[in-house]
Amino acid sequence: MTSSLAAITMPKWGLTMTEGKVVRWSKEQGAEFAPGDELLEIETSKITNVVEAETSGTLARIVAPEGSTLPIGALLAVVAPADAPAAEIDAFVSGFVVVEPSSEDTTEQAAAMETRELDIAGKRLRYLEVGSPAGVPMVFLHGFGADLNSWMFNQPALAEDRRTIAFDLPGHGGSTKEVGAGDLASLVAVVETAVTTLGIERMHLTGHSMGGALAATLAARRPERVATLTLIAPAGFGPEISVSFIEGFVRAARRKDTGDVLHMLVHDPSLVSRTMVEDVLRYKRLDGVTAALETIARAWFPGGRQGVSIIADVTALDLPVQVIWGRDDRIIPAQHADAVAARVQVHVLDHTGHLPHMEKAGEVNRLMRQIAGRT
């Protein structure tokens, strides 16, 4: 009766992941778990992420020891009923084959994880589209200095039942480094043109930090096109912002400064990997990036304060809106959510910094699925 046994395998998160390292098991062998329980932590190209249980069960056998590095799809553990005989589990482990995608699947998968480019008024805009065309798509807008890869733990999960699109905003990632005024109005205009070009009539819109202010502004301008709005640690809810982060990020040119600045983003700095630091450095070394970031920072955070307010826009919206914040956010204080708490759903997550969608990916994915599921 091996049909009652199930495998936990190495997940694929993000564009470039080919293998992952098991950092720690949160459950011991033999322990029972419920949906949403943390099972183990895996080190990725950005931060260490948690694998959560999707169902309930018993962790009958841990196959991958802590510290081991394994390819995507490799067997990490076996889930079985508490009374499953050991011999049956042994047979399951020895009979387990890493699913080698057929060549057709590989092409399909590769295409599915390949970024594409739009031409917006002669300027390049890079995006990643994942998921089936069915349903109302979800659009992701990243924050200052980030790129579409910041949704690596969210986009694959949300793409299971809808089309998802993550953009690189102008000045960021693989998009043009010419940002014009770089202000709220000009960036919103680019996003609006981009979704129109992609034929998206209506969308679930998710934005983080600066991308949150963009998302809210777009929703206020085009409420008929936005089904739901998820704002993660958004800009525009209050004047405070960490000047040492903004200035430090713009200035950082070496590994150490960059690491120090990135550590401010998260509750637990030990989760930030060397690759995440290296990726930011590689982005920052590109011609035009420092100038683009300076322009955007001047337009958004003049004199070290937030110059944009979206409170009126958000409270006036007549559509489902949720705000997600990390209680330990050191970039924009979580208290800013109080400004809208009377009108919209606010979720403040414990032990979480400015990147809830990475630090608490499972929780944030659930909240995004929930709100999108309602419409």
Which residues form the interface with another protein (CB under 8 A)? 174, 177, 253-256, 274, 282, 285-288
H/E run at residue 247: helix 243-251
Q: Structure tokens of 264?
A: 């401010």
d(CA 29, CA 27): 7
- Smaller CB distance to another protein: residue 273 or 335? 273
Q: How far is the CB of 30 from another protein (least distance, A)?
A: 28
- Smaller CB distance to another protein: residue 287 or 318? 287
Question: Counting Cβ atoms within 10 Å, is residue 47 exposed (0-12), middle (13-18) or buried (19+)?
Answer: buried
- Residues 6 or more apart in contact with residue 153 via CB below 8 angstroms: 13, 14, 49, 357, 358, 361, 365
- Smaller CB distance to another protein: residue 245 or 283? 283
- Smaller CB distance to another protein: residue 102 or 256? 256
CB of 318 within 8 A of CB of 223? yes
Q: How far is the CB of 177 from another protein (least distance, A)?
A: 8
Nearest Cα residue to 334 out of 318, 317, 353, 306:
353
Residue 118: φ, ψ to 5°? -110, 155
Nearest Cα residue to 129 out of 198, 190, 193:
198
- Smaller CB distance to another protein: residue 86 or 286? 286
- Smaller CB distance to another protein: residue 259 or 320? 259
- Smaller CB distance to another protein: residue 248 or 307? 248
Handedness of CA 141, 171, 188, 323 (dihedral sign): positive
- Residues 6 or more apart in contact with residue 259 via CB below 8 angstroms: 272, 277
Q: How far is the CB of 222 from another protein (least distance, A)?
A: 32
Q: How far is the CB of 185 from another protein (least distance, A)?
A: 26
Handedness of CA 126, 131, 137, 139 (dihedral sign): negative
Check residue 321 and give left, alpha or beta (phi > 0: left; psi -120 to 50: alpha). beta
- Smaller CB distance to another protein: residue 165 or 289? 289
Check residue 40 and give left, alpha or beta (phi > 0: left; psi -120 to 50: alpha). beta
Q: How far is the CB of 375 from another protein (least distance, A)?
A: 36
Q: How far is the CB of 80 from another protein (least distance, A)?
A: 31
Cα–chain center distance at 108: 23
Q: How far is the CB of 285 from another protein (least distance, A)?
A: 4
What strands, in cross-sheet order, belong to the sheet with 38-43? 49-52, 38-43, 19-25, 69-71
Cα–chain center distance at 149: 7
Q: How far is the CB of 35 from another protein (least distance, A)?
A: 35
Place of tokens 């793409």: 159
Q: How far is the CB of 124 from another protein (least distance, A)?
A: 10
Q: Structure tokens of 246?
A: 């903004």
- Smaller CB distance to another protein: residue 175 or 242? 175
Q: How far is the CB of 106 from another protein (least distance, A)?
A: 17
- Smaller CB distance to another protein: residue 47 or 139? 47
